[in-house]
Chain A
Amino acid sequence: MEKILTKKSFPAWIKKLQSYTVYSPEKQENLWSYEVIQNPDKLNLEHLNTVLAPKKIIYPQREIFLQFNTSKEGKPQIKEVLPEEHPAVIFGVRPCDAKAITLTDKVFGEEPKDPYYWSRRNQTILVGLTCNPPPSPNCFCLSVGGSPHSKEGLDILMTDMGDKYHIDSLTKKGEKLIKAAENLFKPASSKDKKELEKIQRESEKKIKREVKDIKNIPDKLKDMFESPFWDEEAMSCIRCGICTYLCPTCFCFDITDELTSTLPLKGKRVRTWDTCQFPDFTMHSSGHNPRPDKASRLRQRMLHKFQYHVENYQDYLCTGCGRCISLCPMGIDIIEILNKVIDHE
């Protein structure tokens, strides 16, 4: 269902969504971040890439699994903690970040399904925004099967058309959101649709960076496991977690017990994000570490995204958002690495 909403009426729509927690990108000093909207009138969808993807709302960095409690006399008590379910809407979702959620859906959707992830995921409506212009100079969604106006994973796709938005409702969840303020929307005319097509064509042309010959990357990588290439490429890596923590598709986690008291034993079992870039990620309890150096960890990041995930799920574990490039302190550039992989003999 294609509709038109004037920018003037946009805050009125948000105000009708009181039964939802509404998130949108908010500029905090120099950075953009998805936050709960306090004032719909101040809403602005001209955001550059947010530092963290909306992944942080569906799959937060810290999740409590259970609480445990022992006392001298009684039995130990264990209480499962499930997220409080509350419907949420995220506005201004970039198509790459929405596609990333479809990728984590597959991983957390494997049996046994992850109840923590899904309780949020099922309650969250994703309202996307066509990227025109691209929100980062390092966008390369076109190379990894996405596009600045891709609908994958979205419930609604909004496109900025000057003083109005083109609203493309894609799912039942999306329809429901529009129904909440139906009188604000007008049907899109054939002229609007033509303009939309033009904007979409233009938006694709504005993506400047690309990975060449990506289809051959998975095969190429298969023969590169032992290559000294990784030692060279990882020389300037400092082993921080930026590339993976900011990645909209990375999903690895750790589970630890956090004690609030040792006698009596009390605490929580929590899940926190973890990253293959930290040395202790693969540390065995014997002290042996199968990925002992940064070269093997960079290789893991590349191979997981462009070989293993393709083998397991037939898709790249990368949606071309460019965050890992823009924020790598040392200028390590995933596009340059992939292009070197293709040229590698």
Chain B
Amino acid sequence: MVNLEEIKKEAKKILEEGKVKYIIGYAKSSNALMAAPTFVKKPEDIDKLIWDPTCFQNLVKFLIDEKRKKAREKEPDTRPIGIFVKGCDSRAINVLLQEKFITREDVYIMGLSCEDVGVLDKKKIFKKLKGEKPEKIEFDQRKNIVISTKEKTIKIPLKEILAERCLECTSSFPVISDVFWGDRNNRSPKEPFKCLEQIESLSQEEKWDFWQQQLSKCIRCYACRSVCPMCYCDECVVDSINLAITADTTAEEKAQKIKWIEKSPESSENFGYHLVRAMHLAGRCIDCSECERVCPVDIPIRFLNKKLEKVTKELFDYKAGLDPEQPSLVSSFKDEDPEDFIR
């Protein structure tokens, strides 16, 4: 069992020793059902750290900010960043290492096993509560969640309200870490791609209609991109500055930059955006599903990522983020790689 007190003890120790610049962890937010990222710099602040199934966020995203910040500083503090990672989050670190975006010395990985749980799915809880607002939540032995609303107190088995990705997770513990808490029991869900069954059974027309309807909801807030630990490009095709501008860039060059995707939330542009986003995650997405969680209009973005994960697995027997030393999917090939899908 992961013991929060032990985590705090370690956090205190590494901060006191000055081993890390700061620690990215979780603290309570004003929303009882969601933790918030916290950045602990002083040993006396460790008591705000928490660890429970409301710790949704993939904190690896913040390593990207840290790298950018460091690049701007004249004399940067080069100590590593302490960071809380779950199983899925640790795979994101591996991809960043594999792509040489960060180095191993940049991070002090505080690995937390989800054990037999995971994180909550806010939509599932919303359904259970039938619109009532949670005032207080408690976890009972990591088996049940006890939610108190103004009207009543209800106890729900965690299994019923866990995020889909956690139910389909095959490695619920960090695969890379400097310190580690919890067990390393592999899970073997019978159907790791079960979520795709229904959508794969649809005809091409039905699929088209489904995505037309879903993607027409997109308001292009880019939260799915902004939250993704794999999205770290300096210039993104959806931004109006998708051209690195320097003092030498001519007006002509600026005027002639290609606009791949327009700002309008029109169907064609939304398709363009979401397909570009998904394709850039082929062999990279580690299924933390943050993109889907943060979507304010509930687009089932995970389907796209999961489909790519499945194809990647079936065609190339490749799974992202398991090993920082493995060659990346899109920049390597094997003689036995299939070619018959190339048309």
Contact = CB atoms under 8 A, between A and B. Distances in A.
B239 A336 contact: no
A265 interface: no
Contact of B39 (A235, A274, A333): A235
A62 B264 contact: yes
B254 interface: yes
B238 to A, nearest CB: 10
A330 interface: yes
A31 B298 contact: yes
A269 to B, nearest CB: 11
B308 to A, nearest CB: 22
Given A256-B262, A278-B239, A327-B296, A238 B219 contact: no
A194 to B, nearest CB: 26
* Chain A contact residues, majority secondary structure: loop
B294 to A, nearest CB: 4
Nearest to B22: A235
B264 A335 contact: no
A205 to B, nearest CB: 13
B229 to A, nearest CB: 10
A239 interface: yes
B298 A240 contact: no
B266 interface: yes
Contacts of A242: 221, 223, 294, 296
A330 B30 contact: no
Interface string A51-84: 1100000000110000000000000000000000
A270 interface: yes
Contacts of B65: 294
A280 B127 contact: no
A272 B254 contact: no
Interface stretch (B99-107, B245-253, B328-336): B245-253
A29 B127 CA distance: 10
Contacts of B293: 329
B31 interface: yes
A131 interface: no
A289 to B, nearest CB: 9
Contacts of A12: none
Given A238-B227, A335-B30, A280 B239 contact: yes
Nearest to B291: A329
Contacts of B225: 240
A332 B226 CA distance: 15
Contacts of B127: 30
A11 interface: no
Contacts of A256: 240, 262-263
Chain A CB within 10 A, most for which of B31, B35, B226, B294:
B226
Given A241-B223, A280-B240, A286-B247, A331 B36 contact: yes
A326 B31 CA distance: 8
A60 to B, nearest CB: 10
Nearest to B39: A235
Nearest to B223: A240
A241 B35 contact: no
Contact of A329 (B39, B259, B294): B294
Interface in B209-250: 219-223, 225-227, 239-241, 245-247, 249
A286 B38 CA distance: 35
A246 B297 CA distance: 10
A258 B30 contact: no
Contacts of B29: 331, 333
A238 B61 contact: yes
Contacts of A137: 31, 133
A241 B39 CA distance: 22
A336 B264 CA distance: 33
B208 interface: no
B297 A51 contact: yes
Nearest to A47: B131
B57 interface: yes
B111 interface: no
Interface string A34-48: 000000000000001
Contacts of A285: 245, 251, 254
A180 interface: no
A241 B240 contact: no
Nearest to A288: B245
A260 B133 CA distance: 48
Nearest to B29: A331
B239 A287 contact: no
A55 to B, nearest CB: 12
B30 A325 contact: yes
Contacts of A240: 221-223, 225-227, 294
A202 interface: no
Interface string B160-176: 00000000000000000
A252 B131 CA distance: 32
A283 interface: yes
A284 to B, nearest CB: 9
B37 A330 contact: yes
A287 B249 contact: yes
Contacts of A30: 123, 126-127, 298
A254 interface: yes
B265 interface: yes
Given A258-B262, A286-B245, A236 B297 contact: no
A279 interface: yes
B109 interface: no
Contacts of A259: 259
B287 to A, nearest CB: 17
The 5 closest A-B pairs by CB, nearest first: A331-B29, A331-B36, A287-B245, A240-B223, A329-B294
20 contacts: A52-B219, A137-B133, A235-B62, A240-B222, A240-B225, A241-B222, A246-B296, A256-B240, A259-B259, A270-B264, A278-B222, A280-B239, A294-B65, A326-B31, A329-B227, A329-B293, A331-B31, A331-B34, A331-B36, A332-B36
